[in-house]
Copies of this chain bind each other. A is one copy, B any other.
């Protein structure tokens, strides 16, 4: 049984104590720092407070369609000061996993990508060769000829050097790409996903998320991908590998109990902090199965320690 989380809003001493416990704060973004394209009041002041006390800030995002550089521009556009180095995305996490953790045979190093430019940029930054992705050659209907060529294993269509299929959110998903990804995995390629979020919040409603691009393959293959995004611990390992912190002195901040808070708890971080400006409710945090160490009405309540 998990203990009840401490409610810190308005508790100046509690907040000071809490902040002092950690050197690193990992932030989920949408629902914590902003919602849609609206930055919550006090976001910047709160980040400034933490930075002024020497805390390392890491922005952790499952958004695979943007590279870290793109995402930094997004933060800029929202008026939130950041550096590319502070950003950790699921496409970067997946690229690191492929380049540094997977031991691919010499002749199986190519990645077939279902996804957008963010994945491509991060694979390039890790010097991982890839095909698919935004290549217009794959943005077409399947033809009767394709079925035969795929069945015959035509190397012009099924590159024999592909050893990994990496699936993120692909706004240009089509049956040809799904058929190729399916065949690659059937023929032995490793099945990875940047993340498996079921939905994508946009314009105040929801759209199918990255998980819905993996879903056809999961159904057809009867096999789950290794997901490199939250709450998968491969992402935490990659973050730790890069920032070299003491997990007991790190805190995950998020609005979703079953992803953000779970990510911090399973990563055995020293702390987890829930905020009520996103998906999870007070009830989720206080009586749900996945409870943070502490929670706040909103992130900027951390300013109440002054």
Q: Is A78 an interface residue (CB 8 A)?
A: no
Pairwise interchain contact A172-B141, C-beta atoms closer than 8 A: yes
Q: Is A29 an interface residue (CB 8 A)?
A: no
Distance in angstroms between the alpha carbons of A210 and B269 in the assembled complex: 43
The number of residues on chain A lying at the interface, defined by a beta carbon within 8 Å of a beta carbon of chain B, is 39
Pairwise interchain contact B148-A203, C-beta atoms closer than 8 A: yes
A39 to chain B, nearest CB (A): 19
Identical chains bound together, number: 2
Pairwise interchain contact A151-B204, C-beta atoms closer than 8 A: yes
Pairwise interchain contact A208-B175, C-beta atoms closer than 8 A: yes
Pairwise interchain contact A150-B203, C-beta atoms closer than 8 A: yes
Among B174, B205, B217, which residue has its beta carbon within 8 angstroms of that of A212? Answer: B217
Scan A180-210; emit 1 where CB is below 8 A from any B CB, else 0.
Answer: 0011001000000000001100111111110
Pairwise interchain contact B147-A202, C-beta atoms closer than 8 A: yes
Among B152, B175, B219, B220, which residue has its beta carbon within 8 angstroms of that of A172? Answer: B175
Pairwise interchain contact B220-A198, C-beta atoms closer than 8 A: yes
Cβ contacts under 8 Å, A199 to chain B: 220
Distance in angstroms between the alpha carbons of A147 and B152 in the assembled complex: 40
Among B152, B171, B212, B220, which residue has its beta carbon within 8 angstroms of that of A141? Answer: B171
A192 to chain B, nearest CB (A): 17
Pairwise interchain contact A208-B202, C-beta atoms closer than 8 A: no
Pairwise interchain contact B148-A171, C-beta atoms closer than 8 A: no
Pairwise interchain contact A219-B198, C-beta atoms closer than 8 A: yes
Contacts A173-B174, A203-B147; is A212 near B219 (CB within 8 Å)?
yes
Cβ contacts under 8 Å, A175 to chain B: 170-173, 208
Identify the interface centre among A170, A179, A204, A211: most chain B CB within 10 Å of its CB: A179
Given pairs A174-B174, A212-B215, 7 additional interface contacts (CB within 8 A): A142-B171, A147-B207, A150-B205, A173-B173, A178-B212, A182-B208, A208-B220
4 closest A-B pairs by CB: A212-B216, A151-B203, A215-B215, A215-B219
Which positions in A face B, CB cutoff 8 Å?
141-142, 147-148, 150-152, 170-175, 178-179, 182-183, 186, 198-199, 202-209, 211-220, 222
